[in-house]
Amino acid sequence: MAGWIILIIIAILFFMVIGLYNTLVRLRKRCDNGWAQIDVQLKRRYDLIPNLIETAKGYLKHEREVLENVTKARQQAINASGVKDQAQAENMLTSTLRSLFAVAENYPDLKANTNMLALQEELVSTENKISFARQHYNDTVMIYNTRTETVPSNIIAGMFGFKPREFFELEDVAQREAPKVDFTS
């Protein structure tokens, strides 16, 4: 009798462990997907920048430095590794792009260029996509980390080596002003 009860308890525990383990795997996979989505958008931005430079070069002859900064920041971002480095490099790239667009404001011919307008829309949208992908990634990481730290799933996480993930954060306070572009005016 007692043997049966012990057996049943062991069976229940076994299935609970399986359930918790599978949940952790699913959540970790979601984080990976979220990260991959950020990567897709970052890559898209790298691909757009050469076009942008090419279009702007003809108009911005006296602003060589601004253009070079963008190219340099792009290269740094491509070479970055690790969540923290990557975040920093991407923030750098964002701010150089922003100064390029700010400079472009002074060149009406460039501003009116249809190619430039299309590129600007694509870059603004890609910027939004990056920030939404980051938001989604952070949301999923938050859920995953909570699971790895709370009872009872933290025991399973410890046993099978589920480590908490890093958030993709902004370091620079000035950049918390989220890019707002109004297309009505």
Partner 1 sequence: MCSVPDRSGVTGAVAAIRGYACRVEVPEGKMFYEDIAANKRNSWILVVVVTAVLVVLGYLLGLHWGNGYVGISLAVVIAVVASLSAFYSGDKMILTMSRAKRIEKKDHPQLYNVVEELSIAAGLPVPAMYVIDDTAPNAFATGRDPEHASVAITTGLMQKLNRDELQGVIAHELSHVGNRDILFATMVGILVGSIVLVSDFFLRSMFWGGGRRRRKSGERGGGAIIMIIALVFAIVAPIFAKLLQLAVSRQREYLADATAAKLTRYPEGLASALEKIAGDREVLEVANRATQHLYIVNPIKPFEKRTKSLFSTHPPLEERIARLRSM
Span of 6-14, 52-60, 68-76, 139-147 interacting with partner 1 by CB under 8 A: 139-147
Q: With binding defined as CB under 8 A, does residue 22 bind partner 1? A: no
Applying CB under 8 A, does 24 fall inside the site for partner 1? no
Complex with partner 1: residue 13 or 181, whichever CB lies closer: 181
The stretch near partner 1 (CB under 8 A) out of 56-64, 89-97, 100-108, 136-144 is: 136-144
C-alpha neighbours within 13 Å on the C-beta side of residue 48: 22
Query: According to the binding rule CB under 8 A, does residue 184 interact with partner 1?
Result: yes
- For 50: left if phi > 0, alpha if psi spans -120 to 50, otherwise beta; the answer is alpha
Question: What's the gap between Cα 121 and its chain centre?
Answer: 19
For residues 107 and 167, which CB has a smaller minimum distance to partner 1 in the complex? 167
- Give the nearest distance from C-beta 2 to partner 1 in angstroms: 38
Burial 112-134 (b: 16+ CB within 10 A, else e): ebeebeebbebbbebbebbbebb
Amino acid identity at 66: V
Does residue 128 touch partner 1 according to CB under 8 A?
yes
Shortest distance in whole angstroms from residue 132 CB to partner 1: 4
- Extract the tokens encoding 50: 């050469």
Looking at residue 167, the DSSP 8-state letter turns out to be P
What number of chain residues touch partner 1 (CB under 8 A)?
Answer: 36
Does residue 169 contact residue 176 with C-beta atoms inside 8 Å? no
- From candidates 7, 11, 16, 33, binder to partner 1 by CB under 8 A: 33
